[in-house]
Amino acid sequence: MRLTKVSLADTLTTRSSTPGEPLFVVPTDLHPNATFYGKRADFDRLHSTLTSPSDGIRPRAVLICGPPGSGKTYLARQYIWTHRASYPGGIFWVNAGSLQSLTSGLDKVALALANTRSDHAGSKEETLPLQTVHDHLCARAGWLLVFDGLDPPDNDRAIDYLNGVLPANREGSILYTSVDDSLTSKRQLHCPEILRVSPLPVEEACRLLFTKLGIRKPLEMQVRKATLIAMRYEGLPLAIHAVCNYLSRTAKPIERFRIDTRLADSMLTGPFFRALDKLYSERQFWVLNLVNILCFFDAPMKVAFLHVGARAVERYDIRICDSEDLRASFKTMIRYGLVQDASSNDTLESSGSGESSHTEQSDEDTLSAIKMYGVARFVCRDRLRATEYDSHEDQYHAWLLATFEVLSASYEGMRAAFSKAGEASTESSIARYTKDCGDYLLHVQSLAKHFPRKGSVSTAISEGFDRLKRMNKSILDDLTRLGATQPGDASSHTFSVDIESDQSLPTPSRSQNESHSQASDDLPSDAEWGIVNPSSLRGEHHHPSRWNEIRDWAKQTAVRTMETPLLTRRTQWLHYPEQNEERR
């Protein structure tokens, strides 16, 4: 391609009308943000990092990382418009969402550079676009190059493509936005420093809601509902905007907004659907199976729990890891912005003896717990609801039962490990067991909210819910015997309102046409669900003889997790017939 003096395409514009003014090459639709809430700390850190002296010959590089809709582009856009004058060498914005958009964007940057060179009129040589960009950045200082949306799977090819563009010039800066935090280890990208965007604090999310809706003096009921919305969507800026768009479109007041409303906003759900489609196109079916299971859990899930529980669904030909490496599946999900590493919240190792597989950890891998992003959970559950694999049973409840099998088998594995430890159990192992019980209780209560409450249900659903109730009671009894809760504590009985009541599920019906759960308008409180905060569990020292009593009792009251098959071997092929054909 030969660069000549031509007008730039409509998709990119050079905002530099005065001779000598720094180049500002950005897409025409990249306007300044109308508002900027909740990102001030991230904004200040970004500027500090990009303008600090480089420690070598490479340019300063920063990766803004976070899940879809977390405000990565929002932050980058605010930065370039605010600090435009801070980069005399120019600012160049390239959409890196696909290899095609990346190459097209760099071509247009090269055209912009060629059109502003003082010697372009007399140049007779053919110059490649990448060489033009590379040479310009090598020869100048104080420039900022932005690559927005460098996401998988195209980012592998994009990185190879950029290898001939990015200069080794310590006087420049590079900014990337991506859901993939593994880019920090890419030497071709100059190993950027990571900046994880923070979710909007509840106060800032409410402020954004009220500003977008034109509410100047919110009423108490409006503040309460806005707070619930902010908590429901975990401070995700794009989700807040989607709620505002829904309320504006339907002319519904915020206080009448139902928390369980399914937002069909393509801007919100689109990135997650695209991530799932990419995983499907790469034939990573085990990761998609894992997604279908994790979308039912609200709390962080320990990797060790899933290592044991994964075996429970193998007999239904449901695989949730490639070979034996479950962490590889998690890393793939993290790359695609579906889950986050919650290892920092996992301060205690899983329970059991040192010989138990329940506690096996890799010395080279610190990933011990993960949590699926809230909007990703909603999108995946809605996706399961919307797709039926035959006229008798829907995918949503089939995968709900599979999820329970995983959790139940994991819990039994934990109890068996303690029983095997016997007299070797120590006070620290009892403390770990207590914390694990609290974690399992959170997961049980998450699953309980997804079982149907109205209409006829299948026998499998009814049996599954009965087993869930028994598991819930077993955990609460464990905590009571350990002294973590007392029989009169709220946590030992409030959950029975929903899970222990004989009326909590409709009468089982042989009809398999099951109605879906209708969530309440407001999020349940911890007290309503009997949630035990593991950090608040009593740290009392227990006499070994009491532990022997608990161990014997656990043997007698063990929940038989696999005594009644609830699934069919067809479950694995609910979504992925190609995988079935491969195995045949």
**Domain check: are 367 and 400 in the same one?**
yes
Beta-ladder partners of 583: none
Domain membership of residue 416 (yes or no) is yes
Domain membership of residue 129 (yes or no) is yes
Q: What is the pLDDT of residue 14?
A: 58
User: Does residue 534 contact residue 438 with C-beta atoms inside 8 Å?
Assistant: yes
Q: Following CA atoms 577, 578, 581, 582 in sequence, which dihedral angle do they give, to the nearest 10 degrees?
A: -140
Q: What is the pLDDT of residue 395?
A: 82
First-to-last alpha carbon distance for the chain, in angstroms, is 49
Q: DSSP letters of 347-404? A: -SPPSS-TTSGGG---TT----EEEE-HHHHHHHHHHHHH-BSSSS-BHHHHHHHHHH
Question: End of a domain among 169, 196, 223?
Answer: 196
Q: pLDDT digit string (tens) for 515-541?
A: 333 333 333 333 333 333 333 333 333
**Domain check: are 31 and 98 in the same one?**
yes
**Domain check: are 308 and 387 in the same one?**
yes
**Domain check: are 217 and 276 in the same one?**
no
Q: How far is the C-alpha of 416 from the C-alpha of 558, rounded, in Å?
A: 9
The packing angle between helices 266-281 and 285-294, to 10°, is: 140
Give one word for 391, left, alpha or beta, with left for phi > 0 and alpha for psi -120 to 50.
alpha
Find the largest Cα–Cα distance for the chain: 93
Q: How far is the C-alpha of 39 from the C-alpha of 232, rounded, in Å?
A: 19
Q: How far is the C-alpha of 496 from the C-alpha of 528, rounded, in Å?
A: 9
Q: DSSP letters of 38-74? A: S-HHHHHHHHHHHHSPPSSSSPEEEEEE-STTSSHHH
**Domain check: are 96 and 185 in the same one?**
yes
Q: Report, as ranges of residue numbers, the positions in the chain whose pLDDT lies below 50.
A: 1-11, 17, 119-122, 124, 346-364, 389-392, 486-577, 580-584
Of 468, 492, 372, the closest CA to residue 411 belongs to: 468
**Neighbour tally for 200: CB within 10 Å:** 25
Of 26, 46, 28, the closest CA to residue 36 belongs to: 46
Q: How far is the C-alpha of 321 from the C-alpha of 307, rounded, in Å?
A: 9
**Domain check: are 187 and 230 in the same one?**
no
Domain membership of residue 342 (yes or no) is yes
Q: How far is the C-alpha of 482 from the C-alpha of 519, rounded, in Å?
A: 33
Question: Rounded to the nearest 5 degrees, what angle is found at the Cα of 564, between the Cα atoms of 407 and 470?
Answer: 55
Q: Following CA atoms 281, 283, 287, 291 in sequence, which dihedral angle do they give, to the nearest 10 degrees?
A: 40
Q: What is the pLDDT of residue 506?
A: 44
Q: Which domain holds residue 394?
A: 269-583
**Domain check: are 159 and 290 in the same one?**
no
The strands making up 369-372's β-sheet, listed across from edge to edge, are: 301-302, 369-372, 339-341
Domain membership of residue 262 (yes or no) is no
Domain membership of residue 263 (yes or no) is no
- For 339, the enclosing helix (H) or strand (E) is strand 339-341
Q: How far is the C-alpha of 58 from the C-alpha of 464, rounded, in Å?
A: 58
In Å, how far are 3, 450, 464 from 397, measured between CA atoms? 59, 9, 10
Give one word for 455, left, alpha or beta, with left for phi > 0 and alpha for psi -120 to 50.
left
Note if the pTM is more than 0.85: no
- Token pair recorded at residue 543: 């006499």
**Domain check: are 229 and 180 in the same one?**
no
- Token pair recorded at residue 354: 């040192």
Task: Write the burial class of residue 85 (CB in 10 Å: 0-12 exposed, 13-18 middle, 19+ buried).
Answer: exposed
Domain membership of residue 538 (yes or no) is yes
- Amino acid at residue number 504: S
- Per the listing, tokens 């995700």 go with 236
Domain membership of residue 71 (yes or no) is yes
Length of the chain as a residue count:
584
Q: How far is the C-alpha of 446 from the C-alpha of 293, rounded, in Å?
A: 12
What SS3 class is residue 562?
A: coil
**Domain check: are 252 and 345 in the same one?**
no
**Domain check: are 393 and 516 in the same one?**
yes
- Amino acid at residue number 116: T
User: Does residue 284 contact residue 575 with C-beta atoms inside 8 Å?
Assistant: no
Give one word for 283, left, alpha or beta, with left for phi > 0 and alpha for psi -120 to 50.
left
Beta-ladder partners of 322: 325
Q: DSSP letters of 209-257? A: HHHHHT-SS--HHHHHHHHHHHHHTTT-HHHHHHHHHHHHHHT--GGG-
**Domain check: are 32 and 68 in the same one?**
yes
Question: End of a domain among 257, 280, 299?
Answer: 257
CATH, residue 20: 3.40.50.300
**Domain check: are 464 and 556 in the same one?**
yes
Q: What is the pLDDT of residue 561?
A: 31
The domain tally of the chain equals 3
Question: End of a domain among 228, 257, 286?
Answer: 257
Domain membership of residue 264 (yes or no) is no
Residue 325 is classified by DSSP as B
In Å, how far are 89, 278, 369 from 466, measured between CA atoms? 67, 37, 28
Q: Following CA atoms 300, 304, 580, 281 in sequence, which dihedral angle do they give, to the nearest 10 degrees?
A: 50
Q: What is the pLDDT of residue 13?
A: 58
Buried b (16+ CB within 10 A) or exposed e, 32-49: eeeebbbbeebbeebeeb
